[in-house]
Amino acid sequence: MSHDDLILTPTHVRFRGRRFPCAIGRGGLTDNKAEGDMATPRGVHHIVDMLYRADRLARPASWARPIGPRDLWSDDPAHPDYNHLVRAPYAHSCESLRRADPMYDLILVTDWNYPDAVPGRGSAIFLHQWRGPGRPTAGCVAFRRDHLRWIAARLEPFNRLVIA
């Protein structure tokens, strides 16, 4: 493991000599991720993209891309766009990336089941803002807003999230 890895422990994430409290999926950790299980998959996941709400915060890193009003994430295992960024209008099951709440103001996208998605293996393991301490996610890893921004400012594409 490297100084540039995000290391998930039972109580926090370690990154660059600091510790950040975090939340994980309501289903805990799993070795057998499936769509809708609310679990966070164990493994080594690379950070492959950074998306942010340009109308709500400054660009967190030079490689970050703005989230547009039509940006969605497909979570329909029966569709070829499964576990990919898509744009509205989109007639299949998906999640809006441009939310009314601040949870997706900054998203670090991992390579979990991406880009070659296996249907039903689970979609969208993001690092994003939490709802609050101790409040679980749908499988993602979530942080306090200022912590997420600190992490994002120091990440490079393909840094790793290590979940043992």
Q: Report pLDDT digits (tens) over 70-125.
A: 999 999 999 999 999 999 999 999 999 999 999 999 999 999 999 999 999 999 99
pLDDT at 119: 94
Query: If pLDDT is split at 50, 70 and 90, which confidence band does 144 have?
Result: very high
pLDDT at 161: 98
Query: What's the pLDDT tens digit per position in 7-32?
Result: 999 889 999 999 999 999 999 999 99
Distance CA 14, CA 116 (A): 29
Task: Return the number of other C-beta atoms located less than 10 Å from residue 106's C-beta.
Answer: 26
Distance CA 65, CA 67 (A): 7
Reply yes or no on whether the pLDDT at 1 is more than 80. Answer: no
Q: In whole angstroms, how large is the CA radius of gyration of the chain? A: 15
For residue 138, give the 3-state DSSP assignment: coil
Question: Domains, the chain, ranges and CATH?
Answer: 6-163 (2.40.440.10)
Angle in degrees, CA 47, 37, 105, rounded to 5: 40
Mean pLDDT of the chain: 96
pLDDT at 2: 79
